[in-house]
């Protein structure tokens, strides 16, 4: 007798894995943009604040979770 066919596994978006991290509480952390180049015209306070990671906004959480946990 044949085994019933299993559904194919959904693959995680590999680009999303590299950009987002899940915290222990289940929130999603990301890095800020605009820190790659042309930093001379950006003020030191602005550059300093760009170092810190932030949480993904509530509007985007569902979409990011779908990419990570697909």
Contact 11/33 with Cβ under 8 angstroms? no
Its pTM stands at: 0.77
Higher pLDDT, 1 or 26: 26
Please report which confidence band the pLDDT of residue 54 belongs to, taking 50, 70 and 90 as the band edges: very high
35-45: b (≥16 Cβ within 10 Å) or e: eeeeeeeeeee
Q: How far apart are CA 12 and CA 69, in angstroms?
A: 6
Question: Which of these ranges, 2-6, 10-14, 49-53, has the smallest mean pLDDT?
Answer: 2-6
pLDDT in tens, 7-41: 888 889 999 999 999 999 999 999 999 999 999 99
pLDDT attached to residue 6: 87
């Amino acid at each position: 007798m044949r085994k019933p066919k299993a559904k194919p596994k959904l693959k995680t978006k590999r680009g999303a894995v590299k950009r987002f991290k899940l915290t222990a509480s289940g929130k999603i952390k990301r890095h800020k943009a605009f820190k790659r180049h042309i930093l001379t015209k950006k003020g030191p306070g602005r550059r300093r604040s760009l170092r810190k990671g932030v949480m993904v906004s509530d509007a985007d959480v569902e979409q990011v979770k779908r990419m990570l946990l697909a």
